[in-house]
Amino acid sequence: MNQLPNNLDRRLLYILHRGLTDIRNLALGEGNEQIADLADALEILPGILDHWENDRLELISFVLKTYEDKYPGRSFDYLARVEQYDPPERF
C-alpha cells in the first residue's frame, strides 16, 4: 500500500462528514435521487482509504465531479476539498 499524498486521508474523512450531513438534509427535503447519487459517490471512499494506490486520486476526482456536474449550485464543493482546500482542524 502506498502513502496517501497531501493529507488526503483527512480530506476524504471531511468529505464523508459533509456528505453525510448533506444526505441528512436532503432526506428532510425528500431529495431521494440526489441522496442516492451522493451515497454512490461517497461509498467508495472508505475502501480507497483502506487500500490506497496512487491511481485512486483520479478515480475520486472523477466520481465527485460526476456528482457535482449532475447537481450544480450546491453549497459544498466536494471536488475542491480534494484538490485545493485543507480540512478544518475539527469536524
- Cβ atoms of 87 and 11 closer than 8 Å: yes
Tell me what pLDDT residue 1 has.
55
Tell me what pLDDT residue 15 has.
92
* DSSP-based three-state secondary structure for 59: helix
pLDDT tens, the chain, 91 aa long: 566 777 888 899 999 999 998 898 888 888 789 999 999 999 999 999 888 898 899 999 999 999 999 999 888 999 999 989 999 999 8
Nearest to 1 by CA among 62, 49, 44, 68: 49
- Cβ atoms of 79 and 61 closer than 8 Å: yes
- Cβ atoms of 44 and 59 closer than 8 Å: yes
Instruction: Give me the half-sphere count of Cα atoms (radius 13 Å) on the Cβ side of residue 33.
Output: 3
- Cβ atoms of 9 and 88 closer than 8 Å: no
